[in-house]
């Protein structure tokens, strides 16, 4: 389960290597991009790490979010939704392949072929059994330090969510849903996401997702 203290307090890392199955060390970023393109791996300070396999719930939630967020962007300000294995390179920190990342129109130039150079506007990680520490500790620290304005951690196994928004001091504040269980995104300004939608079985269909977004945006405009 999500550790409240772990997600809201500064974390000091004592180990010298990132968590996960290490495939290689001493690899330059250029060699990483050339030799591991399209593979299910990430790079942290010269270390290539194999990413854990995903579950059916992980895959289903990823697909739903891709549809939801792509449709939202098409109906609003525009932008791009990317997903693993698209790499996000945070200079001097790491090159990760988030489950989902969003680039708004002002930052589309950061997308260069198969890599995003710099922070995406919003990053989502869906927790798998093998990614607990990586998503909740290592990536949390890296995305905060790298200036990712908004970070979501979603755990379908325990039906838990944590939403973080970068404050003026460059530190993540955890943002709770409102009393109705609706999360208000800072980056996607018109998005009002009922958390219960994420845990439905089955997840909303494409038709229902479009209808939900159209109704939400219509309400926002009135």
| Cα–Cα dist 172/192, whole Å | 20
pLDDT, tens digit, for every residue of 25-38?
Answer: 888 878 887 888 77
Sole residue written with tokens 């290490």: 22
Query: How much is the pTM?
Result: 0.85
Give the residue extent of every domain in the chain. Answer: 53-221
Any idea of the CA torsion for 74, 149, 105, 156, to the nearest 10 degrees? -30
Q: Does domain 53-221 have CATH number 3.90.1570.10?
A: yes
In this prediction, residue 130 carries a pLDDT of 81
Nearest to 121 by CA among 42, 43, 188, 175: 188
């Amino acid at each position: 389960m999500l550790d409240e203290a772990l997600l809201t307090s500064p974390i000091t890392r004592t180990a010298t290597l990132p968590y996960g199955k290490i495939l290689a060390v001493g690899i330059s970023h250029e060699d990483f991009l050339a030799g591991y393109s399209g593979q299910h791996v990430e790079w942290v300070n010269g270390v290539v790490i194999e990413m854990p396999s995903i579950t059916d719930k992980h895959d289903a939630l990823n697909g739903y979010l891709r549809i939801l967020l792509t449709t939202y962007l098409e109906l609003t300000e525009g932008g791009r939704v990317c997903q693993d294995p698209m790499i996000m390179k945070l200079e001097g920190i790491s090159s990760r392949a988030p489950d989902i990342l969003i680039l708004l129109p002002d930052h589309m130039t950061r997308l260069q072929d198969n890599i995003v150079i710099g922070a995406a506007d919003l990053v989502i990680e869906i927790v798998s059994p093998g990614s607990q520490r990586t998503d909740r500790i290592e990536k949390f620290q890296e995305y905060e330090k790298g200036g990712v304005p908004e970070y979501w951690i979603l755990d379908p196994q325990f039906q838990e969510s944590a939403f973080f928004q970068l404050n003026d001091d460059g530190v993540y504040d955890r943002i709770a849903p409102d009393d109705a269980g609706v999360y208000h995104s800072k980056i996607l300004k018109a998005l009002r996401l009922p958390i219960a939608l994420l845990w439905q079985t089955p997840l909303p269909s494409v038709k229902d997702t479009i209808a939900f977004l159209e109704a939400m945006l219509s309400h926002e405009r009135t």
